[in-house]
Structure 1
């Protein structure tokens, strides 16, 4: 039986959707970049959001008119890249039926939605930093959401909605905020983009791989030669071959990727030519490298040439590590200056709709929210939601409720962007502490590193051939000796070999990944000093 198409299922709900668009951010027929003022004006024009339990929502309901301008192209279709599993997934009939709930006065005897009267929670609250025009966030205040705030306080969201069953794409309230955020930060250059929530980037990546790669057709994918360990571990049990691409200080080298793809011989290699690239372009995990704007465009060009779909995993995008000003203070930027200081994302330069971007609150609010989002063409988001409907569904209602209260009602977009500036300043301080410790305690004769300009990681290269027994010890032996010596001194480092995209190949170099994200300044100094002592002892430099 052929699965029902989306167009077939539209007939299940003949109630017109509200027209929530506006002409804001179009002046004299010309399109300009969206601003917070445009978003505020649009919200004012359309009035209070009405989104009851299990309300359907997509980005097109909340976009500014400039995001949907007819001058923008439509995304390509990616049927040839999708797996048979993904193509076979049909919309969840109960999720589609929930769209009838928006009809005024309807009495539902269809869905198994519990009454909020029997929920075990009447309200939730949290202490949060207070946002204002400063980026210091020194004061705190309380945010609270009750069970019936929509009725009693004319609120847009409450626990009666957040804690009930909902759409796999996420609540309409969070979809609106995410859509506006994407407009402000990335402003995709094609018209039919969409977004939906995830339970974090790892969840998003797993579903994307199931959509795009199939071991039964011999699929492979590409990533940096050293890549996020969990991403690599996700692909292995799926039977997907990983191809590592050479890197330099700016990350993945486009010429190296082009050479591999141009010379690919499926009969000799035993796998189809890779049609998916997974990349962490900012503060890359584990190397800390950041692709420049020109590097990103060059990689995108290679992907266009070979028809490669891009998975852009960018959890460190906002953790740009800037130099201090002359007075030793972090630069304080206006919202416009801050947005302009960010590198162009792949989503921002994606004229084809060939990018699925993964974002997350984990690195900017808290990992335990287990909430992120993906942005891609409508076709790809629709397929993504089909996977979510029979797997994780959407993020926890508690997470959606408390994050909404913080980033939408309490902070707003301006407050959130100011918060990100605070994070940048804090992580820059931590990075600088680690760089200072490297200069003081590490033997530069055998250790080298680049100063990361984003993210949480430093990547150190060890000149293993300076080891007294380099002629008889393998690189893995030397790496293990250093690792064990540091562990004996109370310091845990991450081995570079843990992140190899192709671990079956001989290890050519010895690297270690160090993070400055959590340890105190004092602990960083103690750990780096111990690392330096271990290296000097092992390499006979004492």
Structure 2
């Protein structure tokens, strides 16, 4: 693989200066960030296998008699044709689409191209260039969804006991033990089984430093004593980490759009401030933007589609130094069962990710890649635009229905903001010290929500109390959202009466 294509670089050069220090008077290029110095022990040792290197190096060379690969013959593949219906090619119509014999054969073969199925990888690269216009060198790697991307990054950059920064409430699969919990665990000489990351980081015993947030996401600044003096919250956390000793943070993990669990959307200027802080402290930024396409700020009647999404407003769009690793997924705008996504980062970082991905799975499913490409090819730009309009309008209608139901049943019992992106509404339960304490009452009322402490680094600390809950509106019809809010309201009202 080479660096970004000429098409991508042209798009990036056409973008306005996006980096935090890019000004008209700034003639010197930014100093590239050496992300590889932060590699874990495994990441430093990870290389491309010699057989894999030999196979990919000569793949596609015209006239070559390739006797170097242990590849099954095409005649051995059991699928001889594959046809499926695609909705949205034209308004209200479904079109039958078929993989060509060559595409079908290639989809059943090993992934030979290291970055993924070449036509789909080129589509993703052009999509990234148009939507984000990364200002620095970058490459695009197809993955088996953002979850694989997370695991690749964690394996390559985090050793046992390493430290990272996250939003105060974060995606549960990105949760680790808090600093206090880890210290207490060391003091007792054993690990607490409930205090570690559920999936990605638990085996690494990583330590988390939560950064305070509001409805616009992670707080880079806090107003100090109602003056105009601004204090960096993230920097404070970093200073505390330095004073405490031990491993210093390597990485900041963030879900910037429709954040899971809070639904927050981080504005561009706040991203600039956070990028500046990370630049000063030598941090990687892991941008997990799964809900980017699920934005509906104007409600169900005016979905933005793709053309109306904020362009050049990601951390990747600001990345002049090569410190951002961006993860995208097909799960939220196509189908999670495809298990597809892509990662974008500096060439050296993507090279390491590619080596590890090929060691783990030899890339995403070939059939999924072939189907996704034919789907996107059949749609074209107009079809994808129509699909996103419908998708966003549906999510917006569900969010509005949940908000309206909450107003009918939770007034005086909870506080919330109407969702404008993502899949979730974040509620603060009034008069409830910890939402986990009422799970039995909710179960009896036949309604289930996610207690906020499940999304907090201190989830297993019994002294931590959290009155928040996460409510999903993404998959339920309006009548069930209504009934769910009615049942939740009845439980809260009953508890309120008991307190009185």
Q: TM-score range by the shorter chain?
A: 0.7 to 0.9
The counterpart of 1:185, out of the listed 131, 134, 143, is: 131
> Is the Cα contact below 8 Å between 2:212 and 2:218 reproduced in 1?
yes
SS in 1 for 2:51: helix
The counterpart of 1:120, out of the listed 78, 81, 106, is: 78
The counterpart of 2:162, out of the listed 219, 242, 252, is: 219
Identify the residue that residue 410 of structure 1 maps to in structure 2: 378
Identify the residue that residue 279 of structure 2 maps to in structure 1: 304
SS in 1 for 2:208: strand
Offset of 1:130 from its aligned partner? Answer: 2.8
1:290-439 matched pairs, under 5 angstroms: 290-324=265-299, 329-331=301-303, 336=307, 338-339=308-309, 341-342=310-311, 344-407=313-376, 409-439=377-407
Offset of 1:23 from its aligned partner? Answer: 11
> Is the Cα contact below 8 Å between 1:322 and 1:424 reproduced in 2?
no
The counterpart of 1:243, out of the listed 203, 209, 220, is: 209
The separation in 1 between residues aligned to 2:259 and 2:311, in whole angstroms, is 15
- Normalization by structure 1: what TM-score? 0.78
Tell me whether 1:102 sits opposite 2:60 in the alignment. Answer: yes
- Residue by residue over 1:166-190, the C-alpha shift from the partner in whole angstroms, topping out at 9 and shown as x without a partner, is 1342111111111000011111011
The separation in 2 between residues aligned to 1:357 and 1:172, in whole angstroms, is 20
SS in 1 for 2:99: strand
Tell me whether 1:456 sits opposite 2:435 in the alignment. Answer: no
> Is the Cα contact below 8 Å between 1:250 and 1:290 reproduced in 2?
yes
Show structure 2 runs of 5+ residues with no match.
17-26, 176-197, 221-231
Offset of 1:72 from its aligned partner? Answer: 7.8
Greater relative CO, 1 or 2 (CA 8 Å, sep 6+):
2
The separation in 1 between residues aligned to 2:490 and 2:342, in whole angstroms, is 43
The separation in 2 between residues aligned to 1:489 and 1:423, in whole angstroms, is 31
> Is the Cα contact below 8 Å between 1:202 and 1:231 reproduced in 2?
no
Distance 1:388 1:432, change over 3 A: same
The separation in 1 between residues aligned to 2:159 and 2:277, in whole angstroms, is 23
Tell me whether 1:275 sits opposite 2:250 in the alignment. Answer: yes
Identify the residue that residue 263 of structure 1 maps to in structure 2: 240
SS in 2 for 1:492: coil
- Normalization by structure 2: what TM-score? 0.84
Identify the residue that residue 53 of structure 1 maps to in structure 2: none
SS in 2 for 1:540: helix
The counterpart of 2:104, out of the listed 141, 144, 159, is: 159
Offset of 1:256 from its aligned partner? Answer: 1.8
Show structure 1 runs of 5+ residues with no match.
1-9, 11-16, 35-69, 149-157, 468-474
- Residue by residue over 1:334-358, the C-alpha shift from the partner in whole angstroms, topping out at 9 and shown as x without a partner, is x65x24x457111011111110000
How many residues align? The count is 451
Identify the residue that residue 224 of structure 2 maps to in structure 1: none
Q: CA RMSD in A?
A: 2.6
SS in 2 for 1:352: coil
The separation in 2 between residues aligned to 1:168 and 1:24, in whole angstroms, is 21
Offset of 1:248 from its aligned partner? Answer: 1.1
1:135-154 matched pairs, under 5 angstroms: 137-148=91-102
The separation in 2 between residues aligned to 1:504 and 1:454, in whole angstroms, is 29
Offset of 1:31 from its aligned partner? Answer: 4.6
Distance 1:228 1:85, change over 3 A: same
The separation in 2 between residues aligned to 1:314 and 1:20, in whole angstroms, is 23
Offset of 1:427 from its aligned partner? Answer: 0.7
Offset of 1:25 from its aligned partner? Answer: 5.4
The separation in 2 between residues aligned to 1:77 and 1:31, in whole angstroms, is 22
The separation in 1 between residues aligned to 2:273 and 2:314, in whole angstroms, is 13
The separation in 1 between residues aligned to 2:481 and 2:145, in whole angstroms, is 28
Identify the residue that residue 129 of structure 1 maps to in structure 2: 87
> Is the Cα contact below 8 Å between 2:36 and 2:348 reproduced in 1?
no
Distance 1:74 1:180, change over 3 A: farther
Identify the residue that residue 496 of structure 1 maps to in structure 2: 452
Runs of 4+ that moved beyond 3 A = 19-26, 70-75
1:463-478 matched pairs, under 5 angstroms: 463=430, 466=431, 475-476=433-434
> Is the Cα contact below 8 Å between 1:123 and 1:147 reproduced in 2?
yes
The separation in 2 between residues aligned to 1:498 and 1:419, in whole angstroms, is 33
The separation in 1 between residues aligned to 2:174 and 2:10, in whole angstroms, is 39
- Residue by residue over 1:136-172, the C-alpha shift from the partner in whole angstroms, topping out at 9 and shown as x without a partner, is x421111111433xxxxxxxxx112121011342111
Offset of 1:121 from its aligned partner? Answer: 0.3
Identify the residue that residue 59 of structure 1 maps to in structure 2: none
Offset of 1:392 from its aligned partner? Answer: 2.1
